[in-house]
């Protein structure tokens, strides 16, 4: 592949202030993923706004279609976006623009009233926000090398993931206590009216403000990367021309660095398995292990806490022993605890082995980011994380599909039929682990130091 200036992104880390500023973006971005996309606004959109939607297609199906289209846009634009962010030396500017689009789409959700005629506006805004948010992770992840050294890269990555988990927990609790808890026409400690979905619409505004405020520090603390001159054509290429540059670089990557190709494939598989653990965890807790809705919320908070703590602790092992061993141990332990869950029953057993399962999710995610950063040539991090996003999107059907297949084929009609879906999730994790074992770890560029 084309050589770039090795000083473009190495050696710019200026201390803990930059690390904290960078990680605060992760803390703030949890507002979109946890509040808007997963637990609060998407639920309101389907259950309340789209409740009386005429026609045979449900609001939930339309939500799936909207997010599917957004995912397709991300998949086809992520590699060339990352390539352009690097070549044009506009990584931080790109992060600012994409963050701004996400925040504005979140704030605009206030206009989505509890009426099926507003469903289409809500779907459009969610699709725009989802697209911008996923693309914003490319320049953000690419900054990891700028705020770390070879000896601290794992710890910094783990700290960022942990901040994202903790930020989501904190904001979800604030939303629940302030705007959702209780019964009647007013909700929460703030006594906000539920008429026309006002309490949920105000949550969208709060989430937008949250993201905007905590995203600001990275733009002041972390410098922009310098422009490189090794491949000026990549910066000047138009949209279609960027794909020609991408195809050229992919051919070079296949010829010269199949390890990176192997890691992109392996990580796409096991990352989908990791996502499936959280996606279907609540379903399993209720349908199989007898959890109430309140206990599911408590378990979700606990699961995020242990995943965050796991990411922080594992970051030190990442720097000392390398990211591959952290991911391998994490995935292997998840296979063990997931297998145990197949044979135990009751809420206590799910509390114990479910938390043991989720404690490895954070380390695997953080060390996957560290692994790719160590593989990426300095100055090409954006392009590599663009490919990382695209391959992840390409494999995102595996865990949901296999979960559904195992439940449909082997689950039967009785209570707890979803238990066998665990086998589908474990299968995805096992295939990802097997693929990773065939990938050699990145070279050690520096001896780890204590910090």
The helix/strand/coil state of 429 is helix
Span 253-275, mean pLDDT?
Answer: 90
Contact at 8 Å (CB) between 323 and 371?
A: yes
Beta-bridge partner residues of 2? none
d(CA 99, CA 139): 11
pLDDT-derived band at 14, boundaries 50, 70, 90: low
Cβ atoms within 10 A of the Cβ of 283, count?
14
What is each CA distance from 284 to 120, 178, 305, 342, 417, in whole angstroms? 31, 28, 19, 11, 9
pTM above 0.75, yes or no: yes
In whole angstroms, give the CA distance from residue 144 to residue 164: 15
| Secondary structure (H, E, C), 230-297 | CCHHHHHCCHHHHHHHHHHHHHHHHHHCHHHHHHHHHHHHHHHHHHHHHHHHHHHHHHCCCCCHHHHH
CA distance 301 to 311: 15
How is domain 16-437 classified at the CATH fold level?
Answer: Growth Hormone; Chain: A; (1.20.1250)
- pLDDT for residue 1: 42
Judged against a pLDDT cut of 50, whether residue 6 lies above it is answered with no
CA distance 247 to 253: 10
Region class of 197: left (phi > 0), else alpha (psi between -120 and 50), else beta: left
Whole-angstrom distance, CA of residue 72 vs CA of residue 246: 18
Tens-place pLDDT, residues 369-413:
999 999 998 888 888 898 888 888 878 888 888 888 888 888 766
Tell which wins on pLDDT, 433 or 241: 433
Q: Which residue matches tokens 């600001």?
A: 216
Give which of 203, 360, 207, 345 is closest to 278, Cα–Cα.
360
Model confidence at 66: pLDDT above 60: yes
* pLDDT single digits (tens) 74-92: 888 887 888 777 777 788 9
CA-to-CA distance for 213 and 425, rounded, in angstroms? 37
């Amino acid at each position: 592949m084309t050589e770039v200036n090795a000083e473009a992104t190495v050696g710019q880390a200026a201390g803990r202030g930059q690390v904290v500023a960078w990680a605060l973006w992760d803390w703030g971005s949890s507002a979109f993923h946890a509040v808007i996309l997963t637990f609060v606004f998407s639920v309101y959109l389907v259950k309340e706004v789209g409740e009386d939607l005429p026609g045979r297609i449900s609001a939930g199906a339309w939500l799936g279609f909207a997010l599917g289209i957004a995912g397709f846009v991300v998949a086809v634009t992520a590699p060339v976006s990352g390539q352009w962010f690097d070549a044009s030396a506009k990584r931080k500017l790109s992060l600012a623009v994409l963050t701004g689009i996400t925040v504005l789409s979140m704030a605009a959700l206030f206009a989505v009233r509890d009426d099926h005629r507003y469903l289409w506006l809500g779907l459009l805004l969610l699709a725009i926000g989802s697209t911008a948010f996923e693309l914003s992770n490319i320049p953000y992840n690419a900054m990891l090398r700028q705020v770390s050294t070879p000896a601290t890269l794992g710890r910094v990555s783990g700290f960022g993931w942990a901040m994202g988990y903790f930020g989501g927990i904190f904001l979800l609790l604030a939303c629940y206590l302030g705007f959702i808890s209780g019964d009647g026409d007013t909700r929460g400690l703030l006594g906000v009216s539920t008429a026309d979905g006002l309490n949920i619409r105000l949550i969208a505004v709060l989430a937008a403000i949250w993201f905007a405020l905590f995203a600001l520090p990275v733009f002041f603390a972390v410098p922009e990367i310098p422009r490189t001159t090794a491949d000026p054509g990549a910066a000047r290429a138009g949209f279609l021309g960027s794909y020609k540059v991408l195809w050229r670089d992919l051919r070079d990557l296949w010829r010269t660095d199949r390890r990176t190709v192997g890691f992109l494939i392996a990580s796409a598989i096991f990352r989908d398995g990791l996502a499936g653990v959280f996606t279907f965890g609540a379903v399993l807790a209720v349908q199989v292990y007898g959890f109430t809705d309140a206990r599911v919320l408590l378990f979700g908070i606990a699961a995020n806490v242990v995943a965050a703590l796991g990411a922080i602790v594992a970051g030190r092992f990442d720097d000392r022993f390398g990211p591959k061993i952290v991911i391998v141990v994490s995935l292997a332990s998840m296979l063990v605890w997931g297998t145990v869950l197949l044979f135990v029953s009751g809420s206590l057993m799910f509390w114990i082995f479910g938390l043991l399962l989720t404690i490895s999710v954070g380390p695997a995610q953080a060390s996957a980011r560290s692994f790719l950063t160590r593989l990426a040539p300095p100055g090409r991090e954006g392009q590599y994380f663009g490919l990382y996003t695209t391959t992840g999107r390409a494999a995102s059907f595996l865990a949901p599909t296999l979960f559904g297949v195992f439940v449909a084929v082997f689950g039967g009609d009785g209570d707890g039929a979803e238990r066998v879906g665990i086998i589908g999730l474990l299968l995805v994790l096992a295939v990802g682990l097997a693929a990773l074992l065939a990938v050699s770890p990145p070279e050690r560029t520096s001896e780890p130091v204590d910090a």
